[in-house]
Amino acid sequence: MMLAVDAGNSRIKWGLRHADGRWTDFGAASVDELERAYEAWARIPAPRHVAIANVAGPTMRETVIDLASRWQTELLWVAAAERACGVVNDYENPRQLGVDRWAAAVAAWQRERRECLVVMAGTATTIDVLDARGVFRGGLILPGLGLMKRALADHTAALTLARGNYRELPRNTADAMESGCIHAQVGAIERMYRQLPPGARCVISGGGAHALVPHLTMPVVQVEHLVLEGVAALAEEMMRGEGAQGCGSSC
């Protein structure tokens, strides 16, 4: 068994992948409530490997090491590389690409095997292009839906972070903020999608996906745990010695 971990800026997420491909024991905890992760991991059967994608820096790295210390297991830290799992990284500096974006692209390619737009709607929203040959062509990073709304509330005197609803033509301030931020996210996704050929699909994941999917007009599939799927695929390739990405427990 392998515990796949997505250590992000606002949350740490995990899932247990079994040898037969099944997933169980999904969970998540905010970085402000990490005791929930300690409690949840205490109930997880000991995995043979823990595979981690960490974009949250050295403090989160030490937290994951401490969380996994209850087991005698190998830690596999995945990272972006020039190629892995059938995907070629066309970023100017391949290792500069965020490992969460790389893992999401790998998982999307494993699922689709065709041109697709890979959208991760989290603290930040990333919108990336995979071509028909499995080449990661690049993409966008913009503030996520929640971050957009908080920026408006934090940097304007008259706007507050009140809960609003999406409206085509909002007639109150809370709805105007909610609708404007959704339009900004959806507009960026739709504009990027227009660069793809007919028949391409949008693969979307992340905590903000549910708010965006109803407003997207292209073919779209929502995947609950896209990054975890990619982390597991990258780690399995590492263990087979077929990829250059990532590093073992010593790095």
Instruction: Provide the percentage of residues in the chain whose pLDDT is more than 90.
Output: 89
Closest CA to 106 of 41, 247, 1, 203: 203
Helix axes 173-193, 145-155, angle to 10 degrees: 140
Put simply, whether the predicted model's pTM sits higher than 0.85 gets the answer yes
* pLDDT tens-digit map of 18-45: 999 999 999 999 999 999 999 999 999 9
Residues 14 and 122: their CA atoms lie apart, in Å, by 15
100 catalytic? Reply is yes
Catalytic-labelled residue, pool 6, 25, 90, 100: 100
* pLDDT tens-digit map of 107-149: 999 999 999 999 999 999 999 999 999 999 999 999 999 999 9
Predicted confidence (pLDDT) at residue 186 exceeds the cutoff of 60:
yes
Say how many C-beta atoms besides its own lie within 10 A of residue 63's C-beta. Answer: 18
Domains, in order of start, for the chain: 2-77 (3.30.420.40), 86-227 (3.30.420.40)
* pLDDT tens-digit map of 51-69: 999 999 999 999 999 999 9
